[in-house]
Amino acid sequence: MKTIVIEALIASAVVITLASVLGMLRMKDPFQRMHYISPPASVSALLITIAIFLQQGLKPESFKAAFITLVLIGMNTVVTHAVARAFRIAETKNWRPKPGEEVPVDRLDEPVERKEAA
C-alpha cells in the first residue's frame, strides 16, 4: 500500500512538472510564462518530499528534501516578483502604472480612504 502511495505521489509530481513546462511553452507573453514556474516549485516539490518521507522515514535526507521544498517555495515567490518587476522597469522605465492603465496612477501615492460600510 505504501509503495502505491509513493508511486502515485511521484507520478503526480512528474506529470505536474511536464504539464507546466508544456503550458509554459504555449504562452507567448513572459508574464504569462512566469505563472507556470509555481506548480513544479510548490506542488511537485511537496509531493516528492512526502514520497521521500514515506520511503525513508525521519532520516536526514527527508529533512533535506523538506528544506529544498521550503527554499523552492520561497525562492519562487521572491524571484518571480523580482523578475516581473525587472521586466516592467525595462519596458516602461517605471514600476508604477502609466496614466490610463488599469490602476489609476494618481491614487497610488495617496493614502487609501476606506469607505465605511453603511
Residue 52 has which C-alpha cell? 521521500
Tell the smallest beta-carbon distance from residue 61 to other proteins (Å).
4
Query: Exposed, middle or buried by CB within 10 Å (0-12, 13-18, 19+), for 49?
Result: buried
3-state SS class at 77 = helix
Of the pair 79, 108, the CB lying nearest other proteins is at 79
Q: Does 5 bind other proteins (CB under 8 A)?
A: no
Q: From the list 50, 57, 85, 98, which residue makes contact with other proteins (rule: CB under 8 A)?
A: 85
Of the pair 33, 97, the CB lying nearest other proteins is at 33
Q: b/e for 24-46, b at 16 or more Cβ within 10 A?
A: beeeeeeeeebebbebbbbbbbb
C-alpha span between 73 and 76 (Å, rounded): 5
Q: Which residues bind other proteins (CB under 8 A)?
A: 6-7, 10-11, 13-14, 17-18, 20-22, 24-25, 30, 33-34, 36-37, 40-41, 44-45, 48, 52, 55, 59-61, 64-65, 67-68, 71-72, 74-76, 78-80, 82-83, 85-87, 89-90
